[in-house]
Chains A and B, each alone.
Chain A
Amino acid sequence: MANRTDPAAKSIHGTNPQNLVEKILRSKIYQNTYWKEQCFGLTAETLVDKAMELDHLGGTYGGNRKPTPFMCLVMKMLQIQPEKDIVVEFIKNEDYKYVRVLGAFYMRLTGSVTDVYQYLEPLYNDYRKLRRKLPDGKFCLTHVDELIDELLTRDYSCDVALPRVQKRWTLEASGILEPRRSALEEDFEEEEEKEEDEQAMDAYEADTHEKDYYHGRSPTRERDRDRKRDSYRYHRDRDYDRDYGRGRERDRDRDRERDRDRDRERDRDRDRDRHRARDEKDYGRERERERDRDGRERERRDRDRGRRRSRSRSRSRDRRERDREDGDYRKRRARGSVSPRRRPEEDGGAREEPRRKKEKKEKKSDGTDHPDPEIAEANRLRASLGLAPLKL
């Protein structure tokens, strides 16, 4: 009758399309007033009108889990199963964002993996705000791209278990999809070039006898750079999206990320050097002596740099100094194995006390080392959920 799926509809993911929504939620939707009054006898065209009237999205809310109109319309789409063209039209339309989101949700539920990625990824560029109803009945603010990210990365959204899609890199590896090109790729490349210029300046100022080694490292650095670029693309894009409009924050974030990049590159270089040193033990012994001497100098310089950093007024000047020192550091550490730069122990006195206190507090607050194994396990579970340990 009213709740039966259209008999001409195909099965989705091997089952009746309405079964994509769980039994309890389905029953709740069928008993809902909005469903009974407004969603009776809807066709694809009239559904669009109803979708244009939407003003929030969400799953179920309240003590007895009432479904939202968004949920009812999703159910209606599953019931009548509109053509793929119609769904793509929903997604492509720019005027009504809730219609777009409705189409995207339906596509995520019913589409094949390639379709899902193909049609939902352009929506990453849509930054409009959305109103979302939380399970406790209140509204919260979200954005279209946040929602698309949730649809593509999580497997549960709006109280509906989303069908499994493979990760993007699996599809890229099998050649079905191309690697993702972000809309902000030009900005990213601009900044890469700026970084390159700065590092080229350092290389120019380097000692001449170190220059051969430095040149020798540039192909690997390119490899690092590519690797770094790919791995960073997702994270940075999202940060960029949000900070793009705000000038000063963007610079600050970009600087912070650049420093982080450089730290990470340095770590990678360090690992590589450590492996190489294992082959050159004799050479390394002489280097050790030199390294110790350097180490002490370096620690002193670190400390000075730390102090200077907090006091210096112009951050660009500080960064250039740091770059130069990083360049030296990299060159000096080139052949020998590298010990991690540890904070100087001269400040040890003041630092040991807080360290001891922290250890004591860790023993107290965690509770996972309780003698009774049941309680220890319960505490471990609570810690993983973010709850305080049991009070005995």
Chain B
Amino acid sequence: MIEVVLNDRLGKKVRVKCNEDDTIGDLKKLVAAQTGTKAEKIRIQKWYNIYKDHITLRDYEIHDGMGLELYYN
């Protein structure tokens, strides 16, 4: 189980517990449940790399405590 921090730099900072083999799509659903936006409206990036929905966190080498950028579609 890892904990990932998502920050949208506009006031929304969210810590989400998830498994390493969850996909980004699942992570978006968890974030949507915590922030109240819709899961389809969320975009997770790291600098200019937009993370795709079907790839797991382990494949993106996202580790415990790592920070991701939260944007909206």
Contact = CB atoms under 8 A, between A and B. Distances in A.
B63 interface: no
A378 B30 CA distance: 9
A187 B22 CA distance: 48
B60 interface: no
A390 interface: yes
Chain A interface category by residue count: 20 to 34
B73 A24 contact: yes
Contact of A390 (B17, B33, B50, B73): B17
A74 B29 CA distance: 28
A177 interface: no
B27 to A, nearest CB: 10
Interface in B30-73: 30, 33, 38, 40-41, 43, 50, 52-54, 72-73
Interface string B1-38: 10000000000000001111010001001100100001
Nearest to A390: B1
Contacts of B54: 136
Contacts of B38: 156
B52 A387 contact: no
Nearest to A378: B17
A135 B22 contact: no
Nearest to A156: B38
Contacts of B50: 63-64
A136 B53 contact: yes
A382 B1 CA distance: 13
Interface string A350-392: 0000000000000000000000001100100110010110111
Contact of A63 (B1, B17, B20, B52): B52
Given A387-B22, A390-B19, A392-B1, A381 B73 contact: no
A149 interface: no
Given A63-B50, A159-B40, A391 B33 contact: no
Nearest to A388: B19
A391 B19 contact: yes
20 contacts: A24-B72, A25-B73, A60-B73, A63-B50, A63-B52, A64-B50, A135-B40, A136-B53, A156-B38, A375-B17, A381-B30, A385-B30, A385-B33, A387-B22, A387-B29, A388-B19, A390-B17, A391-B1, A391-B19, A391-B20
Given A159-B40, A385-B33, A390-B17, 11 more contacts: A24-B72, A24-B73, A63-B52, A65-B73, A135-B40, A156-B38, A375-B17, A385-B26, A387-B30, A388-B19, A391-B1
5 closest cross-chain pairs (CB), A and B:
A65-B73, A390-B1, A63-B50, A378-B17, A385-B29
